[in-house]
Amino acid sequence: MTTDTILPPSCRSLRVAVLGAGLMGAPMARNIAAAGCQVSVWNRSADKASALAAPGITPAADPAEAVLNASVILTMLKDANAIAEVMLALPDADSAPAAPVCWLQMSTVGPADMSGLEMLAARKGLTLIDAPVLGTRQPAEAGQLLVLAAGPDSTKEAVQPVLDAVGKATRWLDTAPGKATRLKLALNSWVFALTHGAAESLALARSLGLDPELVADTVRGGPLDTPFFQMKAQAMASGDFTPAFTIDNAVKDSALIVEAALETGVKLDLAEAGLNRYRRVQAQGRGGADMAATFLA
């Protein structure tokens, strides 16, 4: 047995391909490189990938170039369609010279998308790890995401250094993909309910002739308060909707929640109403604004 097989893998021995350098993918790529991994990064709009060029981070011209010699592929793309488009551009398992082993799928998708992702993984000779994250742009920048993970035990050691680089903790939930995505959707339902609840409370206050900030001030430090509520209330009161999580992605995830509810037969009134609010804001041309812009619905 060589020393390499005794020591747990560190980031220094890993080549990681990050596909998708949006609000989340870009800081995640930076943090993985900062932990010592060799990162190659690809993004559909090439300027976002080239902006990341630095020691340890190499922009790639296409997805196939990005994954060359990588042992971990990380996808942080908009949705299942984008993931399929990008992953189909990779060489198939039988034509791949040295197939990367692990695919950390960290974008938010729906439970119904999971079988398609598993088929893609099989076709490309990859082991799929379902690993969505909790936390928006700021925790992503700070490497403080909470990773929900489901995948074979045999892959944990190989991918843990990458997950440790992007997150403060990893919650391993299952040895097969699926459970992490289902939990992520349930958690997003709570995140959206909080955001819409804050928006309606502040909007009502304003319509009653009150300063909306009074709502946030009054609950501060009490049992109704959360840091998330304060952050979103501040954005709403100040009108600063710099995106941490866009309205476009909130529409996408709210639709996934409503679709999952239809499939399972549970009645989710708030999710449907919340989806309508986000769609109204999107129709105002504010798809790139932060989800706190539900205040403007």
Task: Using CB under 6 A, count the residues that bind ligand NAP.
Answer: 27
- Alpha-carbon distances, residue 74 vs 1, 130, 216 (angstroms): 29, 10, 38
The CA-atom distances, in angstroms, between 155 and each of 101, 161, 180, 223 are 9, 11, 15, 41
> Could you tell me which of 292, 180, 281 has the C-alpha nearest to residue 228?
292
CA–CA dist 131, 17 (Å, integer): 15
- How far CA 123 is from CA of 5, 11, 16, in Å, comes to 28, 27, 20
Cα separation of 177 and 113, whole Å?
A: 11
**Among 62, 65, 85, 157, which residue interacts with ligand NAP (rule: CB under 6 A)?**
85
> Binding string, 148-177, against ligand NAP, x = CB under 6 A?
------------------------------
Beta carbon nearer to ligand NAP, 22 or 212: 22
Find the shortest distance in angstroms from Cβ 160 to ligand NAP. Answer: 20
CB of 44 to ligand NAP, least distance (A): 3
Binding residue (CB under 6 A) for ligand NAP from 105, 136, 170, 181: 136
Contact 62, 39 (CB under 8 A): no
Span of 22-30, 155-163, 210-218, 256-264 interacting with ligand NAP by CB under 6 A: 22-30
Told to check if 105 binds ligand NAP by CB under 6 A, we report: no
Give the position of tokens 């082991």.
Answer: 127
**Which residues, numbered 27-56, are part of the site for ligand NAP (CB under 6 A)?**
43-45, 48
Is 20 one of the binding residues for ligand NAP (CB under 6 A)? Answer: yes
How far is residue 172's CA from residue 150's CA, in Å, rounded to a whole number?
6
As a whole number of angstroms, the distance between CA 53 and CA 37 comes to: 14
Q: Which of 38, 107, 201, 254 is in the footprint of ligand NAP by CB under 6 A?
A: 107
Strand partners, 74: 18, 104
Among 195, 249, 254, 282, binds ligand NAP (CB under 6 A): 249
Task: Using CB under 6 A, pick the residue from 103, 245, 278, 295 that binds ligand NAP.
Answer: 245
Q: How far is the CB of 258 from ligand NAP (least distance, A)?
A: 15
* Only segment of 2-10, 16-24, 53-61, 265-273 that touches ligand NAP (CB under 6 A): 16-24
Nearer Cβ to ligand NAP, position 133 or 275?
133
Distances (CA, A) of 125 to 53, 121, 280: 28, 6, 42
Tokens of 41: 């990064």
CB closer to ligand NAP, 22 vs 151: 22
Q: Enumerate the β-bridge partners of residue 102.
A: 72, 127
The alpha carbon of residue 83 and the mean position of all alpha carbons in its chain are separated, in whole angstroms, by 13
Q: Does 67 bind ligand NAP (CB under 6 A)?
A: no
Q: Which residue is nearest to ligand NAP (CB)?
A: 22
Residues that bind ligand NAP (CB under 6 A): 20-25, 43-45, 48, 76-79, 82, 85-86, 107-108, 133, 136-137, 244-246, 249, 253
